[in-house]
Amino acid sequence: MAVKPLMLKRGDTVGIIAPASPPKQELLGNALSFLEESGLAVKIGSSVYRQHGYLAGMDEERIDDIHTMFLDQEIKAIICACGGYGTGRIVSKLNYDLIKNNPKIVWGYSDITFLHTAIHQKTGLVTFHGPMLSSDIGLKDVHELTKKSFKQLFKQGPLEFTSKHSTLHTLVEGMASGPVIGGNLTLLVTTLGTEYEVNTKGKILFIEDVDEEPYKVDRMLNQLKMAGKFNDAAGIIIGDFKNCVPDKRKESLTLDQLFVDHVIPANKPTMRGFQIGHSSPCLGIPIGSVANMNTKEQTLIVESGIREEDEA
C-alpha cells in the first residue's frame, strides 16, 4: 500500500538537494525566491554548492545530504535543484529504513527517476516527478503552469491531465487503472537487472526523455519491451520527448514509428502528448498514486499524492 507524505503549508521548511549534477547558481537563486514567495523557508544541502567533475560533490556527500534531510524533523519536503547525472551511483547506499520511517515529499525528475523508482519500491512512499528549481523554475521564461504544478503539494485533490493542457493522441484504445510508475526512459532502462528494476505490473507506466536521437530511443524502447515492461503494465502514457530528433545527415525512423514497433504491440491503453518531462509547461505527477485513464475521453485522473496531518 502506498504511503503518502504530509501536505505542505505556509511557514514550512523545505530542503534543497542536488543528488546528481550541480545546479546553475543564478537560476537556483531565482527559484529560491519562488519558494519564499510561496511561504516556504529553505535549508540548502551542502552538495548544492559542491562540484566533483559532473557531480554535485562526492557520492558520500550527496548521500549524506539525503539522509540529513530525512532526519531533520523541521524539513517537510525535499526538492531537487536539478538533474544531470549521478543519482544511480548512490541509490544502493541509501538507508531506506530511515526514509520509510520519516516519509516526506520528494520532488524532481530526469536523472531523479532512479531515486523515485528506488524509494517507491523499497519503501512504498509516494514521490513526485515534477519541475526542478534551477532547471525549470529559475528560468526567465518559466511557464505559469509549471509553477502552479507545485500547488498539488499544498492541497489535496485529484490531478487531471486532459486535452486542455496539451494535444493528446490515442495510440491504443481502452481504460486502465493502477498506480503511476515511470519517468525518464534512459534512467528506467538503467534500472533493469538491478534490485531497483522498475516494476510495471498492473501499473500505469509513463515515459519521457530529452536530447536522444531516435535510434537511441529505439534501443531503449526495445529493451523495455524485451524485459516485459509494456506487457506487464495496465496502461501506458507517453510524455514529452523534447529534442529527440535525428541527425539531419542521417536517415532515421520517426518517434511515431518507434511507438508503433515497440509500444502498441503490447495492446495496453496508451496515450501520447502529456506535458510531463522536459517540457514547457512541465507538469508534476505523483509516483505511486492510483490513476485512471480513459482513452475515449482522453483523460488521466490521478489521486492526490499527499495526506493531511490527521490521516493514518
| Residue type (1 letter), 248 | K
Residues with catalytic annotation?
110, 208, 278
Return the closest-CA partner of residue 56 out of 93, 110, 111, 19: 19
Cα–Cα distance measured from residue 38 to residue 206, given in angstroms and rounded to the nearest whole number? 29
Cα–Cα distance measured from residue 310 to residue 312, given in angstroms and rounded to the nearest whole number? 6
The residues pairing with 78 across neighbouring beta strands, listed in sequence order, are 15, 106
Query: Helix (H, G, I), strand (E, B), or coil: what is residue 17?
Result: strand
The C-alpha torsion from 186 through 89 and 26 to 107, rounded to 10°, is 70
Return the closest-CA partner of residue 108 out of 147, 80, 69: 80
Cα–Cα distance measured from residue 17 to residue 26, given in angstroms and rounded to the nearest whole number? 16
- The angle at the Cα of 44, spanning 207 to 74, to the nearest 5 degrees, equals 95
Cα–Cα distance measured from residue 287 to residue 129, given in angstroms and rounded to the nearest whole number? 7
Return the closest-CA partner of residue 209 out of 235, 181, 180, 186: 186
Query: Helix (H, G, I), strand (E, B), or coil: what is residue 76?
Result: strand
H helical segments located in 38-176: 59-71, 96-101, 113-123, 144-148
